[in-house]
Amino acid sequence: MTGAVPLPGSRPDLEDAVIRLKDELDALRQRSSRLIEDMAALVAASRDSNADDEHDPEGQTIAYERSQLSAVTHQTQAHLSEVEAALERVRTGTYGTCEVCLQPIDVARLEARPTARTCVHHVGTRRTDG
């Protein structure tokens, strides 16, 4: 299978993947921390105001900002979980193996999406047995 990831232990690309994943993990943790701080500041600022989201012209803006910040925080947390799961797969020796067909995931896919759990043929599919 040309371009497929070799078995764990014989993979020169695994070290690069781990470095990329750890760098991404650090960046996501920092971003998540900043977003949580921003949300706390936004909530505190709106708590001190008499703004009525429903009747105040600025209320809709505050609610929109809060909603947007919440969505970005949720996306960041979800991606953080994906990176942590990928590092766990590295630790257990299953990184780079499709969760559905148990075949190696193509190197190009892992370079483009280091958190990939499946090969391109099984995108959107999850293993249902054991």
Structure tokens at 122: 């099984």
The length of the chain in residues reads: 130
The reported pLDDT for the residue numbered 130 is 44
Domain residues of the chain, as ranges? 12-94
Residues 86, 91, 95, 101: is their CA dihedral positive or negative? negative
* Separation between Cα atoms, residue 33 and residue 25, nearest integer Å: 12
Helix axes of 12-47 and 59-92: crossing angle, nearest 10 degrees: 160
The reported pLDDT for the residue numbered 4 is 45
* Separation between Cα atoms, residue 22 and residue 10, nearest integer Å: 20
* Separation between Cα atoms, residue 100 and residue 13, nearest integer Å: 22
The reported pLDDT for the residue numbered 85 is 96
pTM value is 0.73
Contact between 119 and 19 under an 8 Å Cβ cutoff? The reply is: no
Q: What is the pLDDT along the chain (130 residues), one digit of tens a residue?
A: 344 444 444 455 788 889 999 999 999 999 999 999 998 888 887 776 655 555 555 556 777 888 899 999 999 999 999 999 999 999 999 999 999 999 999 989 998 999 999 999 999 876 655 4
* Separation between Cα atoms, residue 104 and residue 102, nearest integer Å: 7
Contact between 5 and 104 under an 8 Å Cβ cutoff? The reply is: yes
DSSP result, 92-127? HT-TTB-TTT-PBPBHHHHHH-TT--S-GGGTT---
The reported pLDDT for the residue numbered 9 is 44
